[in-house]
Structure 1
Amino acid sequence: MKAVTIIQPWATLVALGVKTLETRSWATKHRGPLAIHAGQKVDKEACLIPQIREALLKHGINDWRDLTTGAVIAKAVLNDVWAINHPFKNGGLIERVSTDTGRFLTWGGYMPDEYHFGDYSDGRFAWQLDDVVQLQEPVPAKGQLSLWNWEEAG
């Protein structure tokens, strides 16, 4: 199964199902099952962003030290990749364009919590993660850059 390593707290937000778009500087042609690996790094400052802190607290995670690192913590299905554009450079509108179908969606004015869970800078990509299932027990694994192959035991 393909896997992607995500820095904490974002990996946990994916595993909890509150973050459905993983933003990256690169697109991928992979579609299908994807293991979510929590990397060794924890962005402690990000854990203090109000929307992130609130989402973690709702799920009983009170401190960055409570976040699992160095393990696969969830499985998802990567269904689409969206290119991020800001059509009005200094305006608040963000446009997502599907690299698969060309369909586009926009965010403007009020930004949903999802906006605070990623980097939606011009030229980046948002990977649409669906059917997320958090593993009951994290599976220790060493992460890698880019997509990598994870062999599930058993």
Structure 2
Amino acid sequence: MLTTSWLTRDELADYLAASPLPLTLSPTPQDVATAVAEDLLTHRLPWPTLDWEAGRYPEGTRDRRLRSRRLVDDLGVDKLHDALDDVLLSVRALTIRQPWAGAVTHLGKRTENRSWRSGYRGLVLLHAAKEADTRLITQARQSDPDLPLHRQAVIATAKITGCHQARRTEQGGICCSPWGEPGLWHWEIKAVHPLARPVSCSGALNLWRPSADVLNAVLAVEEEGR
């Protein structure tokens, strides 16, 4: 079972304060949960929890901190925990063969080539497949012996922000160079955050739903590094 009940009120407020979510537009529990989930999975660090009652705040943060805390109190901690659990359970995972998974995680590859279009936008766990392209792995090892090439494990978190068909540039090449391939759909990936250690699990075809156990394990790894 997935649960984020370990997050205290002040921790929720700190994550919310650190997020880009506008706090003056009456955000819903879903809005707050989405912002906090992105903080948790992309390793955007919360503002350090301070002594609220003593009123010790870094310069320039007091108003947003107080507004975040007030919003958490108004919406209710339990309701926010439930909304956050729902948001995290809606996260998808994407299995990629090595060495391409390593290229996304460590070499700046921000285009995933697929034969089909995806309408999904949002947080994703990047999963390295059990099977790999051994020929390309040999080449990758030769060019970068230290490149992590874990298999059958979640190795990073990211966001899928768009999807478009490969197209020719004005110069006659293919868009999204050097990673984009012709005749395929280019999935746009941003906010890639490698995990401090891989989370072992089996993958699946297409976008798939990670289990609560996998999500809990990923969150635990993220919390260890904060």
TM-score by length of 1: 0.70
- DSSP 3-state at the match of 2:94: strand
- Give 5+ residue unaligned stretches, structure 1: 95-105
User: How large is the RMSD of aligned CA atoms in angstroms?
Assistant: 2.5
Residue 69 (1) aligns with residue 159 (2):
no
Q: Which amino acid aligns with 1:149?
A: R
- DSSP 3-state at the match of 1:11: helix
Q: List aligned pairs for 1:1-154, cutoff 5 A.
A: 1-49=91-139, 54=143, 56-57=144-145, 60-61=146-147, 67-86=149-168, 92-94=172-174, 106=175, 112=177, 114-115=178-179, 120-122=181-183, 124-150=184-210, 151=212, 152-153=215-216
- Return the structure number with greater strand share: 1
Q: Which amino acid aligns with 2:159?
A: V
Identify if the C-alpha distance between structure 1 residues 8 and 38 changes in structure 2 by more than 3 Å, giving closer, same or farther: same
Name the % identity: 29
TM-score by length of 2: 0.49
Distance 1:77 1:22 in 2: 12
Distance 1:16 1:81 in 2: 21
Q: CA deviation at 1:73?
A: 0.2
Which structure has more RCO (C-alpha within 8 Å, separation ≥ 6)? Answer: 1
- DSSP 3-state at the match of 1:80: strand
Q: How many residue pairs align between the two structures?
A: 124
Q: CA deviation at 1:48?
A: 4.4
Q: Check whether the contact 1:76–1:133 (CA below 8 A) recurs between aligned residues.
A: yes
